[in-house]
Amino acid sequence: MYRYIIRRLLILIPVIIGVSAVVFFLIRSIPGDPALILLGEHSNEESVEKVRTQLGLDKPKVIQFFYFLYNMARGDLGRSFLTNELVRIEIFKHFPATLELTLCSMIFGSVVGLVLGVTAATHRNSIIDYITTVISVTGISMPIFWLGLIAIIIFSIKLHILPISGRLDPTITFKAKSGLIILESLLRGNFGVFKNAIYHIILPAVCLGTIPMASIARMTRSSMLEVLNQDFIRTARAKGLPARKVIYVHALRNALIPVVTVIGLQFGGLLGGAVLTETIFAWPGIGRLSVEAINARDYPVIQGCIIFFALIFVFINLLVDILYAFIDPRIRYD
């Protein structure tokens, strides 16, 4: 197992170099000179030239690439063209917000998705099954922008029970070293901040969670249906086990493999930032960081974000593969 993990981690090196090369040359082939975008209507010949020199864009692309690789090997992803901030810090400052939101929406999506899926499978072709299907289809197809605004209008404007947007009340100053406000406020025993942060995360997490919820529910339903028809379930029922135990222990555990795969994929995807959700709920996450960087042709930040996303995806996939072995002890990697 450990050898397997180490081997998988070693694969990261060529992945990162490959991703870096593709990203590096790809973003430089998008039309639009970063210096010109930075300066806009007010640029002139001298200012564009000067800014290009300062950003290192006057050198040949291949040379720029080797500089970039050399610096990356030393852990330096450069500084943002736009803000002058270190890319490493930009990512570190925006990722925790996304991680917190993703975890909460995945918890919501997985729990609700699993319950819906199992219920639909055990009540196949009943009204409950149809309702569940309608919920999943709606969850997948509903535009998040619309859902978010409707949720804000109902829960924040009409009912006044939840805040509209943001991670915390703006008048609260809470410096979370890790950037994870919920976790850190809880560990430090600051329950006022903890409660405030939880209130703020409910709407965005539920809205964003509808997407994984729908996929998880559908996958659970079909996987469960397959398992429920197998002989060992009949045996379990025949030996008089309570129905709940048969479904949630014997059947669900065996139906989980494809569901865990879906959860892993969704998790990895959401960690790349959910731009629309982050925009509506004014959530200062990595999705907004990367999209704003693309609009400004902020090359170092785009590169940094994409390499970071590639790393996350590789890790999540590894985690899912390891989880398989725990769910199904027959799976061995050595």
Query: How many residues bind to another protein according to rule CB under 8 A?
Result: 51
Decide if residue 153 touches another protein (CB under 8 A): yes
Smallest distance from another protein to CB 288, Å: 6
Structure tokens that stand for 116 in this block: 């819906």
The CA-based dihedral angle spanning residues 231, 232, 235, 241, taken in that order and rounded to the nearest 10 degrees: -140
For the CB of residue 105, give the shortest distance to another protein in the complex, in Å: 18
Q: Are 281 and 165 in contact (CB under 8 A)?
A: yes
Binding flag, residue 152, another protein (CB under 8 A): yes
Give yes or no for a contact between 194 and 186, defined as CB atoms under 8 angstroms apart: yes
- As a residue count, the chain comes to 334
List the one residue from 19, 23, 27, 38 that touches another protein (CB under 8 A): 38
Instruction: Tell me the closest approach of the beta carbon of residue 152 to another protein, in angstroms.
Output: 6
Please, how many CA atoms are within 13 Å of residue 99, restricted to the half-sphere of its CB?
A: 15
Are the C-beta atoms of 87 and 307 separated by less than 8 Å?
A: no
Nearer to another protein, 225 or 282 (CB): 282
Determine the interface stretch with another protein among 163-171, 214-222, 235-243, 313-321 (rule: CB under 8 A).
163-171
φ/ψ region of 240 (left if φ > 0, alpha if ψ in -120 to 50, else beta) reads left
Cβ atoms 253, 277 nearer than 8 A: no
Nearest C-alpha neighbor of 204 from the set 289, 291, 278: 278
Q: Map residue 163 onto helix, strand or coil.
A: coil
Q: Verify binding: residue 163, another protein, rule CB under 8 A.
A: yes
Of positions 9, 149, 150, 331, contacts another protein by CB under 8 A: 149
Among 139, 224, 288, 306, contact with another protein (rule: CB under 8 A): 288
Window 47-66: residues binding another protein (CB under 8 A): 47, 50-51, 54-55
Burial (0-12, 13-18, 19+ Cβ within 10 Å), 277: buried
Q: What are residue 86's DSSP bridge partners?
A: 79
Among 45, 127, 143, 244, binds another protein (CB under 8 A): 45
Residue of 23, 116, 297, 313 interacting with another protein (CB under 8 A): 297
Contact 172, 101 (CB under 8 A): no
Q: CB of residue 262 vs another protein: minimum separation in angstroms? A: 30
Given the complex with another protein, which of 82 and 135 has the nearer CB atom?
82
Applying the rule CB under 8 A, the residues between 202 and 261 that interact with another protein are none
For binding to another protein (CB under 8 A), which residues are involved? 31-34, 36-47, 50-51, 54-55, 79, 82-85, 90, 93-94, 149, 152-153, 156-157, 160, 163-167, 170-171, 173, 279-282, 284-285, 288-289, 297
